[in-house]
C-alpha cells in the first residue's frame, strides 16, 4: 500500500505560552499536547510520511535539556515512523533532538507529482520563492495564521488547519487552483534610493581626490 504524505507544523508541544498567545482552545498544556498527538495519530498512519514545517516542541523556560526531553517523549508517542523536519526557529541544533527525525533541513524543494510544479518548503513565509512566476508553490509556518497568504503560498501550521495535519496533495491542489501572478503584474513599488546613489557618488569622488592628492 502506497504511503500518504502529510504536512503540519508549529505544534510547540509542551509550551504553555502558545495557548494564550495564539488563542488555542485548550485548558492547559497537557490538554493541548494530548489533542495534537491524537490528531496526528488519527490521520497519519505508521507507514505514512509526516513533514513537520518547524517548531516541533517548546521552547522551555527550564532550558534546552527539558525541551529535548519533552520532544523525545512526544516522538515516542507518535505512530508514524517517518517524520521529516524543516527546521524552525525554536528547534534546537542538538544531535539528540535531530535524531528523532528521518531528516532535518532548513529548506526543501521538490516537484509535485500531479502537474510537476516546484514546491518550496520553509519554516518562514517567503515573499518571493524559486519558480514563483512559473507556478511554483510555497508552504510555510511560523506565523500561526496571522499572515495573509500571498499567491500560491500557504500556512500549513496547526493553527491554520484545526490543529491537525493536512494531506500534502490536498494543500497543493488548493494552491494549484489559485491564479498565477504574471511577470507583468510585478509593478515597481520600491522607489530607487537616490540618497544611496548620491552617497556612493560622493564616496567615489572623495576616493579619486585622495588618490590625486597623494
**Residue 55 confidence (pLDDT):** 98
**Residue 200 confidence (pLDDT):** 61
**Residue 187 confidence (pLDDT):** 76
Q: Which domain holds residue 75?
A: 5-183
Residue 173 lies in a domain: yes
Mean pLDDT lowest for which of 20-34, 101-115, 125-139, 197-211? 197-211
**Does the pLDDT of residue 25 top 70, yes or no?**
yes
**Does the pLDDT of residue 1 top 60, yes or no?**
no
The model's pLDDT over 49-101, given as tens digits with 9 standing for 90+, comes to: 999 999 999 899 899 999 999 999 999 999 999 999 999 999 999 999 999 99
Q: Find the CATH number of the domain harbouring 34.
A: 3.60.21.10
For 121-150, what is the mean pLDDT? 94
Residue 172 lies in a domain: yes
Residue 201 lies in a domain: no
The CA distance from 179 to 45, in Å, is 33
For 172-191, what is the mean pLDDT? 82
Number of domains within the chain: 1
**Residue 113 confidence (pLDDT):** 87
Burial of residue 43 (number of CB atoms within 10 Å: 0-12, 13-18, 19+)? middle
Bigger pLDDT: 213 vs 85: 85
**Residue 190 confidence (pLDDT):** 78
Residue 122 lies in a domain: yes
Residue 203 lies in a domain: no
Residue 208 lies in a domain: no
Mean pLDDT lowest for which of 92-96, 115-119, 192-196? 192-196
Residue 189 lies in a domain: no
Give the residue among 121, 124, 43, 44 at the shortest CA–CA distance from 85: 121
Residue 155 lies in a domain: yes
Burial of residue 201 (number of CB atoms within 10 Å: 0-12, 13-18, 19+)? exposed
Handedness of CA 196, 201, 206, 208 (dihedral sign): positive
Amino acid at each position: 500500500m502506497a504511503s500518504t504524505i502529510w504536512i503540519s507544523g508549529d505544534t510547540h508541544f509542551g509550551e504553555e505560552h502558545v495557548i494564550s498567545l495564539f488563542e488555542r482552545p485548550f485548558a492547559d498544556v497537557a490538554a493541548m499536547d494530548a489533542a495534537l498527538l491524537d490528531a496526528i495519530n488519527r490521520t497519519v498512519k505508521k507507514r505514512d510520511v509526516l513533514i513537520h514545517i518547524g517548531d516541533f516542541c517548546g521552547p522551555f523556560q527550564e532550558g534546552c535539556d527539558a525541551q529535548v526531553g519533552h520532544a523525545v517523549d512526544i516522538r515516542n508517542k507518535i505512530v508514524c515512523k517517518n517524520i521529516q523536519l524543516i527546521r524552525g526557529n525554536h528547534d534546537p541544533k542538538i544531535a539528540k533532538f535531530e535524531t528523532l527525525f528521518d531528516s532535518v533541513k532548513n529548506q526543501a524543494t521538490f516537484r509535485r507529482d500531479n502537474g510537476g510544479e516546484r514546491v518550496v518548503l520553509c519554516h518562514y513565509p517567503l515573499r518571493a520563492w524559486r519558480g514563483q512566476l512559473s507556478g511554483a508553490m510555497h508552504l510555510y509556518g511560523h506565523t500561526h495564521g496571522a499572515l495573509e497568504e500571498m499567491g500560491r503560498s500557504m500556512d500549513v501550521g496547526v493553527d491554520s488547519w484545526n490543529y491537525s495535519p493536512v494531506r500534502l496533495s490536498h494543500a497543493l491542489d488548493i494552491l494549484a487552483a489559485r491564479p498565477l501572478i504574471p511577470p507583468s503584474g510585478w509593478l515597481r513599488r520600491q522607489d530607487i534610493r537616490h540618497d544611496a546613489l548620491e552617497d556612493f557618488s560622493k564616496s567615489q569622488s572623495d576616493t579619486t581626490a585622495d588618490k590625486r592628492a597623494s
